[in-house]
Amino acid sequence: MREQRDSDISRLSTNQGKTIGLIVNPVAGMGGRVGLKGTDGPEVLQEAIRRGARPVSSERAALALKRLAASASATPFRLMTGAGALGEDIARAAGLDPVVVYRPSPGSSRPEDTRKAALVMADAAVDLLLFAGGDGTARDVLEMVSDRVPILGIPAGVKMYSAVFATNPENAGSLVAHVMAGEPKVRFREAEVMDIDESAMRSDQVSARLYGYALSPHERHLVQNAKAGSVLNENLALDAVARQVVRQMKVGCLYLLGPGTTTRRVMIELGLPSTLLGVDAVMDGALIGADLNEQALILLMEGHETRIIVGVLGGHGSLFGRGNQQLSAEVIRRTGRENIIVITSMDKLISLDAGCLRVDTGDADVDAMLSGHIRVHTGPDRSVFFRVRS
């Protein structure tokens, strides 16, 4: 096996251009729409499959590679990857000719495969290691490569708080192309790799940890920032917004409240329990569904006018596609753009590095529908129109 791997790597040196390493976590993101908040651990993966979850990371990685492949004629590059679903399949589907440098052993675990493949690529000194997954995958990659090679994430998980992710798969492909071309507008920075304990999340607790810093390419409009915190003045303003939202709730209307402390304020004003990192449903002041997945939300929406209440995810500026995949493209489409209520603080908007809010639902038509300017409520009787980009 090692001799074959060394032979494969040596073949790369006969070509021209820089080298990209590609790792796809095949199960990343499967827990999102079914309300599991992640897929860390075999038991959670099996539960996700039982609930009807389907793989999404390969589709997300394919979008990035399609964008990257379009630049191959202008800027040749070499690609090394893992066998089959670890990257080889989608690379070939994109018209690329990858060199397979890692093949999983029978019975190996997916995190083990990610770590071993990352080590092979770091030892081969790739110019950039591109991976598809979430924060757990980012942790596994960082553990093996440290600061030896730069890394970039294709957002494909449920939890993506780390600053090593592109804003969407297509932008990941574009950024890699810029790196391969040596464009001066691309800088490399030390980007935070963070993760939240999934078991704590399922108990409605947030336990975040900074695992380290990774060298990562940065271009302002193509990558996200790490999750930001809040301050006292923001909290006071958001409490007032929550009270106003409750006063204006319509009789007979279904309200879907997204994850986070911002939307939790609305539930507190209603005197209802809430799921901090899940999606709850309220009608006429009563809780009619807690911690709901995509299918449960769609069933509740039948025959009801619906509103979505959502906050902005920290430094990412994300509305949809980060930690709230239960509010899927289909749920958003049925709700309608005009029925989305966005709540956040003015301080948070000002601090957004990209100067806009982001959506990454996995559906190009829905992302386009959401793009433009949207009203954002920042205080009682105070709102601004802020740009949304896909």
- Domains of the chain by residue range: 2-218, 232-389
Band of pLDDT at residue 230, cut at 50, 70 and 90: very low
**pLDDT value for 31:** 65
Query: What is the model's pLDDT at position 48?
Result: 61
Mean pLDDT, residues 298-306 taken together: 96
Residue 242 confidence (pLDDT) above 60: yes
Q: What is the CATH class of 2-218? A: alpha beta
CA distances from 44 to 29, 32, 34, 132, 157 (A): 12, 11, 11, 19, 14
Handedness of CA 236, 239, 243, 244 (dihedral sign): positive
The first and second tokens of residue 258, run together, are 């997204």
Tokens of 50: 């039982």
Tell me what the pLDDT averaged over the chain comes to.
Answer: 86
Whether the predicted pLDDT of 282 surpasses 50: yes
| Spatial separation of the C-alpha atoms in residues 239 and 46, rounded to whole Å | 39
pLDDT of 28 > 70? The answer is yes
pLDDT, position 166: 94
Quote the pLDDT of residue 99. 96
Per mean pLDDT, which range of 35-44, 115-124, 251-260, 375-384 is the poorest? 35-44
The whole-number pLDDT of residue 311 equals 93
Torsion of CA 59, 60, 61, 63, to 10 degrees: 90
pTM above threshold 0.85: no
How is residue 297 written in tokens? 């939300």
Strand partners, 387: 373
Q: Is the pLDDT of residue 322 over 50?
A: yes
Query: For 1-13, what is each residue's pLDDT tens digit?
Result: 454 555 455 444 4
- Decide if 353 contacts 318 (C-beta within 8 A): no
Residue 374 parent element (H or E): strand 372-379
